[in-house]
């Protein structure tokens, strides 16, 4: 992994970032701040861009002097994808993006007092934080006959918490605003001062259903930073585990989408198939959500010949079963009528917001980290990346459906290569260089999870930033919903399969 860094003064950050954005294929990948007063006397604003080399990233680092003014020119007016990152930086560090078009709180809700910024190093996590009751402004639409429908944070089904505000004219959605970060668990702060080994169980628990992807991104960031190369066997077990994660997620999501329209046969069969995959996960890793397999340096457990045969047999049973489930959808006019042309994200919006994963590939953005910035063993494997162009619920569904056979192919290739790999499972990870920074990424079922890590001079975590796939994808939902009717919202929402836990951290 190569990170090329340009260091600029805060006042030049917008111009420098804009120059990088216009030269990169995918625009802004992530943006965050880091309290580096101890080493450089400044706060730093990092903007990450795709590099030319497959394993490269370009970073623009803007220095905000500790003595102030604590501000930088907002990138949002020229790079829309920066909007949420900048709101988060303002919440967590109190560094103001000037000229931000809508600078309102994002992570810290009305209960949090003004002027307290938890990711600053002088914020003591053990301190008592008094209750506040400040306003939390939401976006509205105005006009005669326009009314508002508030939904959540607690929803009617078994789903994660988020608050939606629909501005309506009749049944049609005019505008959607979301208040999220209800499940914010302060993980980035909680791991500061821990060794990578101590922090790892929390990393695996950022998200229950992207657990492998987060474990991989963190491990790869650390391995890149410490120059650790993982054994051959670990490489294929990691691919196997990551693809098992994609498989149960995609199958569950495909079944669940049908719940948005009451197509119960598909819901039941999706849940049944997903259960069989979760049981396979438990047999392979001891945990239905694949926790405990990927560790920094390699993997924790072997996948024995017996387990390989078990996985192979499970795939044999799975394939025809899944094909007939998809058949129920493909040939059902009532189903197609609901998904076709519903909740469109146009290509330009997907590109401008930096949308990732199946949601991006459904809008014609042909990008998959496994192929385009290969990590682990993916560069050596043969698979296709399905792309659609209509950007609607159907496109997001069919991209997932088409990815399933590719995932099965990848699992079979990983199993094959495991047979020839040596027995070693993990390499020792040496201490990280003081104040070194590393990035790691992986393509989860929802898109790229990007982690950034800075270690201090005692091999402890100084700063850990997690950009989950759901981070750039959430704003796309507010593009997809307007113009549709409220009863279609659950369907549109489900088609993105957004993680709240991943986003909120």
Partner 1 sequence: MLKILQKIMAVGTVTEAWDAGEAPERFRGRVAPAGGSCAACGACVAACPVGAIEADGDTVTVNQRACIFCGRCVERCERGLLTQTGDYKLAELGGQLLGEAVRAEIARTLGRSLHIRHLDVGSCNACDFELNQLLSPVYDLQQYGVDFVASPRHADLLMVTGVVTRNLTQALLMTYEATPSPRLVMAVGACAASGRTFGADNYAVRGGADALVPVDVYVPGCPPRPQALLYGILLALGRIEQA
Which residues contribute to the site for partner 1 (CB under 8 A)? 109, 111-112, 118, 123, 125-127, 129, 153-154, 156-161, 181-187, 189-190, 198, 200-202, 205-209, 211, 252, 265, 268-269, 271-272, 274-275, 278-279, 282-289, 291-292, 301, 324-325, 327-328, 331, 499-501
State the burial class of residue 14 (Cβ atoms within 10 Å of its Cβ: 0-12, 13-18, 19+): buried
Closest separation in Å from C-beta 103 to partner 1? 19
Name which of 159 and 427 has its Cβ closer to partner 1.
Answer: 159
Task: Name residue, tokens 């829309």.
Answer: 80
Q: Which is nearer to partner 1, 283 or 349 (CB)?
A: 283
- Cβ contacts of 79 within 8 Å, gap of 6 or more: 17, 18, 21, 27, 28
Confirm if 349 and 476 have CB atoms less than 8 A apart: yes
- Token representation of residue 246: 């994609």
Q: Select 82 or 199, whichever has its Cβ closest to partner 1.
A: 199
Q: Which is nearer to partner 1, 282 or 316 (CB)?
A: 282
Smallest distance, partner 1 to C-beta of residue 271, A: 3
Cβ closer to partner 1: 146 or 427? Answer: 427
Q: State the nearest-atom distance from the C-beta of 284 to partner 1, in Å.
A: 7
Q: Would strands 163-169 and 172-179 be described as parallel, antiparallel, or unpaired?
A: antiparallel
440 in Cβ contact with 220 (< 8 Å): yes
Contact 233, 421 (CB under 8 A): yes
Comparison of 65 and 208: residue with beta carbon closer to partner 1: 208
Q: Which residues contact 478 (CB under 8 A, 6 or more apart)?
A: 175, 176, 177, 178
> Cβ distance 441 to 217 under 8 Å?
yes
Minimum CB–partner distance for residue 205 and partner 1 (Å): 5
CA 369 – CA 378 distance, rounded (Å): 9
Q: How far is CA 104 from CA 100, 135, 136, 185, in A?
A: 9, 10, 8, 20
Burial of 321 (0-12, 13-18, 19+ CB in 10 A): middle
For partner 1, the closer CB: 10 or 273: 273
Question: DSSP H helical segments within 331-392, as ranges?
Answer: 333-339, 347-353, 357-361, 369-372
Alpha carbons 150 and 134: distance in angstroms, whole number: 19
Cβ proximity to partner 1: between 185 and 409 the closer is 185
Least gap, CB of 217 to partner 1 (angstroms): 16
Instruction: State which H helix or E strand residue 282 sits in.
Output: helix 264-285
Q: Closest approach of Cβ 198 to partner 1, in Å? A: 7
CA distance 125 to 145: 47
148 or 275: whose CB is closer to partner 1?
A: 275
- Cβ-based nearer residue to partner 1, 17 or 202: 202
What is the four-CA torsion angle of 120, 126, 132, 135, rounded to 10 degrees? Answer: 40
> Residue by residue, what is the 3-state secondary structure of 67-121?
CCCCEEECCCCCCHHHHHHHHHHHHHHCCEEECCCCCCCCCCCCCCCCCCCCCCC
Q: β-pairing, 294-295 with 298-299?
A: antiparallel
Closest separation between CB of residue 178 and partner 1, Å? 14
Work out how close the CB of 169 gets to partner 1 at its nearest, in angstroms, rounded to a whole number.
Answer: 26
Q: How far is the CB of 157 from partner 1 (least distance, A)?
A: 7
Query: What string of DSSP letters covers 411-423?
Result: HHHHHHHHHHS-S
Residue among 123 and 347 whose Cβ is closer to partner 1: 123
Tell me how far, at minimum, the Cβ of 213 lies from partner 1, in Å: 13
CB of 251 to partner 1, least distance (A): 12
In the complex, the smallest distance separating the C-beta of residue 201 from partner 1, rounded to whole angstroms, is 4
Q: How far is 302 from 228, CA to CA, in rounded Å?
A: 19
In this complex, which beta carbon is closest to partner 1, that of residue 119 or of residue 350? 119
Omega before 311 within 30 of 0, i.e. cis? no
């Amino acid at each position: 992994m190569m990170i090329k860094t340009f260091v600029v003064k805060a006042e030049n950050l917008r111009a420098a970032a804009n120059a990088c954005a216009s030269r990169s294929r995918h625009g802004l990948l992530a943006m965050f701040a880091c309290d580096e007063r101890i080493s450089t006397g400044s706060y730093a604003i990092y903007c990450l861009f795709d590099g030319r080399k497959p394993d490269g990233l370009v970073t623009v680092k803007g220095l905000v002097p500790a003595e102030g003014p604590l501000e930088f020119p907002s990138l949002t007016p020229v790079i829309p994808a920066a909007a949420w990152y900048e709101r988060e930086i303002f919440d967590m560090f109190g560094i103001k993006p000037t000229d931000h078009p809508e600078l309102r709180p994002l992570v810290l809700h009305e209960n949090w007092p003004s002027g307290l910024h938890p990711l600053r190093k002088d914020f003591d996590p053990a301190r008592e934080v008094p209750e506040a009751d400040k306003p939390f402004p939401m976006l509205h639409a105005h006009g005669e006959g326009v009314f508002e429908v508030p939904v959540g944070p607690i929803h009617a089904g078994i789903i994660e918490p988020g608050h939606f505000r629909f501005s309506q004219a009749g049944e049609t959605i005019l505008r959607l605003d979301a208040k999220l970060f209800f499940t914010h668990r302060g993980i980035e702060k909680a791991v500061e001062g821990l060794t990578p080994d101590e922090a790892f169980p929390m990393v695996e628990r950022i998200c229950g259903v992207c657990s492998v992807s987060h474990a991989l991104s963190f491990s790869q960031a650390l391995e890149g930073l410490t120059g650790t190369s993982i054994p051959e066997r670990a490489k294929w077990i990691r691919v196997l585990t990551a693809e098992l994660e994609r498989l149960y997620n995609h199958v569950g999501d495909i079944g669940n989408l049908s719940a948005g329209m009451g197509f119960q046969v598909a819901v039941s069969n999706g849940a049944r198939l997903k259960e069989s995959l979760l049981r396979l996960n438990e047999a392979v890793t001891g945990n239905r959500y694949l926790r405990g397999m990927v560790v920094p340096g390699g993997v924790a457990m072997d996948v024995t010949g017996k387990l390989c045969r078990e996985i192979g047999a499970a795939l044999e049973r799975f394939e025809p079963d899944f094909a007939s489930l998809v058949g129920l959808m493909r040939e059902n006019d009532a189903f197609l009528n609901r998904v076709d042309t519903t909740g469109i994200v146009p290509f330009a919006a997907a590109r401008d917001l930096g949308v990732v994963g199946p949601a991006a590939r459904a809008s014609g953005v042909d990008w998959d980290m496994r192929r385009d910035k290969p990590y682990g063993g993916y560069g050596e494997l043969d698979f296709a990346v399905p792309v659609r162009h209509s950007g609607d619920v159907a496109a997001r569904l069919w991209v997932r459906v088409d990815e399933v056979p590719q995932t099965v192919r990848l699992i079979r290739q990983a199993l094959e290569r495991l047979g020839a790999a040596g027995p070693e499972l993990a390499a020792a990870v040496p201490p990280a260089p003081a104040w070194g920074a590393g990035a790691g990424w992986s393509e989860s079922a929802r898109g790229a999870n990007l982690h950034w890590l800075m270690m201090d001079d005692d091999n402890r975590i100084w700063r850990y930033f997690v950009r989950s796939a759901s981070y750039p994808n959430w704003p796309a939902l507010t593009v997809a919903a307007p113009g549709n009717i409220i009863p279609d919202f659950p369907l549109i929402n489900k088609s993105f399969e957004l993680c709240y836990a991943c986003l909120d951290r």
